[in-house]
Amino acid sequence: MEEEIRQLVLSMDGVATVYAADPLWLTTVKRLGLLLEQGTEELAHFVVCSGGIEEFPLVDTTATGDGTGALTIRTRIGTDGSLPAPATARAVADAIRVFATENYPFLSVKAIVEVSTIGV
33-92: per-residue pLDDT in tens?
Answer: 666 666 554 555 666 666 654 444 333 444 444 545 788 888 999 999 999 999 999 999
How much is the pLDDT for 22?
Answer: 72
Which domains can be identified in the chain, with CATH numbers? 2-117 (3.30.70)
Q: Are 50 and 72 in contact (CB under 8 A)?
A: yes
Q: Is the dihedral of CA 40, 2, 73, 65 positive or negative?
A: negative
Report the chain's mean pLDDT, rounded to a whole number.
77
Residue 67 burial (C-beta neighbours within 10 Å; 0-12, 13-18, 19+): exposed
